[in-house]
Amino acid sequence: MKILITGGGTGGHFYPLIAVAEKINEIAEKDKIFDLKIYYMSTTEYDKRALFEQGVTFVSVPAGKKRVYSSIKNYFDIFKMGFGVLVGLVKMFFIFPDVVFAKGGYASFPALFAARVLGIPVVIHESDSAPGRVNLWAGKFADRIAISYPEAIDYFERKDRVAWTGQPVRTAIQKADKRDSMNYLSFDESVPTILVLGGSQGAEIINNIILDCLEDLLPQVQIIHQTGEKLYEDVKGRSNIVLNGNSFASRYRAFPFLNPVGLRMSAGAADIVVTRAGSTLFEIAGWEIPAIVIPFTTSNNDHSKKNAYSYARAGAGIVIEESNLTKSVFLQAVEEITKNKQKSDEMKAKARAFLKTGASELIAREIIHIAESHEK
């Protein structure tokens, strides 16, 4: 049995694929499927260790990206897209998997195009409330369409093939015990903790607001700040200047990127998460932590804002749009949660209710079922 997974080059696409691959491996071991091979076709490996741990073979393919804003790169990427389709078609032919599982994004287009040409069954998953372009196109021929937000069904023509499964979430990042987390981070358990997640690549506007508010926040809270690897040196340098001589400087911890252990411990310590409005929202819901959600101003189909407000309507988060993101507005949102235990507890309960559990296993079983049917 051969299964090929594919998706765009961000954590929001990659880690749900890993969550499903993990469940596929578990089911294969339990059901004694000994000939299983899983391939990952994309532009980059993204996280080599995660692929290695799940026994996934990386297959490189170039892919062009059509940006939502005007850029000369869009012109050159037309040629990259065409070349990627040819490379993907050749590599897909030689692998010839029994099923392709795609998370969308530009990097999944070559694999999906090849699967369609070669008549290979396709399962797609959409993490956003408003689907991206690639998944909208793939939805026209996919055998199964899994969605995280129930409202996403409105965008797909073949509604009989759509199932609201929820979001696949990795077991490796389930939050740790509070006391263990505080000891790991050398934090004070009696002081509220904010976890800042600007996405796997960081978010400059979130980094800026945290730095602007540091002196006001640290007398009241502790902060774990994932800055993004490319932005880390800038944030670290600026925070050192801001906190020079500050008696609360030890309450601020900046990291370029949080690995699964770091993320588990940070989640275990956190009382609030500051985040973008991507698939991380489902991880936060699983942690049952109140969130301050800052969506992208420009995103395809405005999905970032739609995700954020869907989460806020559920009662699990407070939305601050980028145009309203001022120091006073941000500090007020933090205080609204940290100073009001009843509201904080209500948001935790709403987060728990927002998460639809069991998505990884449900999708994995359907992928295996389709693969077995294709083998016959």
Three-state DSSP class for residue 128: coil
CATH superfamily membership of 2-168+357-375: Glycogen Phosphorylase B; (3.40.50.2000)
pLDDT above 60 for 70? no
Confidence of residue 294 (pLDDT cuts 50, 70, 90): very high
pLDDT-derived band of residue 84, with 50, 70 and 90 as boundaries?
confident
Helix residue ranges, H only, 218-326: 232-242, 260-269, 280-287, 303-313
* DSSP codes of every residue in 29-49: HHTT-TT-EEEEEES--S-HH
Contacts of 244 (CB under 8 A, 6+ apart): none
Rounded mean pLDDT, 333-341: 96
Distance CA(247)–CA(265), nearest Å, equals 25
* Segments making up each domain of the chain, as ranges: 2-168+357-375, 172-354
41/88 Cα distance (integer angstroms): 8
pLDDT (tens digit, 9 = 90+) per residue, 116-131? 999 999 999 999 999 9
Instruction: Look at residue 312 and tell me whether its pLDDT is greater than 90.
Output: yes
Q: What is the pLDDT of residues 348-369, one digit of tens each?
A: 999 999 999 999 999 999 999 9
Residue 300 has pLDDT above 60, yes or no: yes
pLDDT at 245: 93
Q: Which residues partner with 224 through β-bridges?
A: 195, 253
Q: What is the pLDDT of residue 73?
A: 60
177-180 contacts: CB < 8 A, separation 24 or more?
A: 177/268, 178/268, 178/269, 180/265, 180/268
pLDDT attached to residue 169 = 94
Which band of pLDDT confidence, cut at 50, 70 and 90, is reported for residue 80? Answer: confident
Beta-bridge partner residues of 3: 38, 99
Q: What is the CATH number of domain 172-354?
A: 3.40.50.2000
d(CA 161, CA 143): 7
Look at residue 301 and tell me whether its pLDDT is greater than 90: no
Q: How far is CA 152 from the centre of its chain?
A: 17
Partnered with residue 216 across adjacent β-strands are none
Residue 67, pLDDT > 60, answer no
| Confidence (pLDDT) at 71 | 57
pLDDT beyond 90 at 23: yes
Given this chain, do its domains 2-168+357-375 and 172-354 carry the same CATH topology?
yes
